[in-house]
Structure 1
């Protein structure tokens, strides 16, 4: 039986994630997931790809907002803030509307990361559509790379770790949903599943960048696991690990919920 074993959100894109026992599914992904983002002086998103130190900024959700901690210093980012200044920001090939928050918060992040940056929020009225080549019209996402959810099977990580000299944790791959009970890479072929009455559809295998090579506890990079994955998870010059999902309803899912597979993909693009 397939079950949900782990749930994660990443409130501020590319900062540390938060492990949950229950997650609320909203129109654009889990509640609070990647609704905040750091941008550079050109209003383009920042990530661990360029600034690995971002991995060490720990995030927590409090009653009044988000708290970010680095070493012994922290800052609070309120859910309710007065700034009504909006700008256009770039994330990959997309441009969307975002809300500036506070100059003091911007300075805190800039001082720690050593780069001039600003923190922005995605308001509810800002609708960033998913790639129409893979997802149906009307599907939206947050500041995630491309889709609302990333699903990975624990068996897939176990198989990868059996090939590595030093095992790595799941946090290298930054999933939203982890499942157990599947065969390695069974998630590659998922077309439609249900979890606690909510339907999810697999739309695109996740092509991996360099972030899995960054240790999320030290921010140090290495050649693994990309070097090993390139030997058996390479297709069309890209390394694939995990399946991107979209969804058609809102609600709650919990660790321990059963995952029911309704259909599987047979297209060649889902086969590695």
Structure 2
């Protein structure tokens, strides 16, 4: 490929389905960026909780500083250590994957329960191997985080620009919750990447990402819209799945930065 591609934006989402954090730099690991989707909320039946059923989760804003994670929701704020957790393991499923997690602490679970109005717990995945995900396309098994499927989601800038040309009300990349946004010249060309490097980190493309109703949730206000899924379904459906962005995995660890070039 003769075009020059570079990293435009980096995001992590410490707690599954809550708002993300924009970063200038992130440490790539096998399970995803450090502190990305290592935590999630589960209900009283140990079922994971997402914006699909609870759009208000988009209004919980995390920040990480000095080893502590603070969550702001409306006028309320709560903080806990990124390293703390109870000892008793909890068995949960993230879609078809069995996962072992541990509760962070009782007070944090109580705070989320009070804000959401139902019993829930904040849990954490501790180490690689506590959740494994099999790629039917690659016939490989990966150690993953608590993300829906794969550790990283990458989107090209032209994919969003092309979509926005078709929308009456323009949207931002935040609708799609990417980890890495790269500059591109052709819409959806990231789907066809194979292996590539960013900084010292080698990445491998697994498959384009099938999208769900969650992309219609406006992160600005938590309201459900008809777009962009309605428009995407007119030109981005493959095998009954609406595709936008691509799922990738890292083959080694290292730091990547905004501005880094993608090397093929």
Please report the TM-score for the alignment, with normalisation by the length of structure 1: 0.92
Aligned residue in 1 for 2:159: 156
1:269 matched residue in structure 2: none
In structure 2, the residue matched to 1:237 is 240
Q: Equivalent residue for 1:5?
A: 8
Structure 2 counterpart of 1:94, from 80, 92, 97: 97
Q: Which moved more, 1:71-80 or 1:154-163?
A: 71-80
1:31 equivalent in alignment to 2:34:
yes
Aligned to 1:131: 134
Name the SS for the 1:178 alignment partner.
Answer: strand
Q: CA deviation at 1:139?
A: 2.3
Backbone CA RMSD of aligned residues: 1.3
Runs of 4+ that moved beyond 6 A = none
- Residues 166, 235 of structure 1: alpha-carbon distance in 2 compared, 3 angstrom cutoff: same
The one of 23, 31, 54 equivalent to 1:51 is 54
Deviates more, 1:74-83 or 1:124-133: 124-133
Say which SS state the counterpart of residue 131 (structure 1) adopts: strand
From 166, 169, 175, give the equivalent of 2:172.
169
Question: Deviation digits for residues 129-164 of structure 1, max 9, x if unmatched?
Answer: 222313464521100111010000011000000000
| Number of the residue aligned with 2:222 | 219
* 1:168 Cα deviation from its structure 2 partner: 0.3
- Contact 2:129 / 2:143 at 8 angstroms: preserved in 1? no
Segments of structure 2 that go 5 or more residues without pairing to the other structure are: none
d(CA) in 2 for partners of 1:125, 1:21: 25
* 1:113 corresponding residue in structure 2: 116
Q: Aligned residue for 1:268?
A: none
CA distance in 1: counterparts of 2:83 and 2:10, whole angstroms? 26
Structure 1 runs not aligned, ≥5 long: 262-272
> Would you say how many aligned residue pairs link Structure 1 and Structure 2?
261
| 1:38-64 C-alpha deviation (Å, 9 max, x unpaired) | 001111111000100000000000113
User: Match for residue 17 of structure 2?
Assistant: 14
**Alignment match of 1:181 (pick from 164, 184, 187):** 184
Deviates further, 8-17 or 122-131: 122-131
Q: Distance in 1 between matches of 2:48 and 2:61?
A: 19
CA distance in 2, matches of 1:134, 1:32: 27
Q: Distance in 2 between matches of 1:38 and 1:207?
A: 23
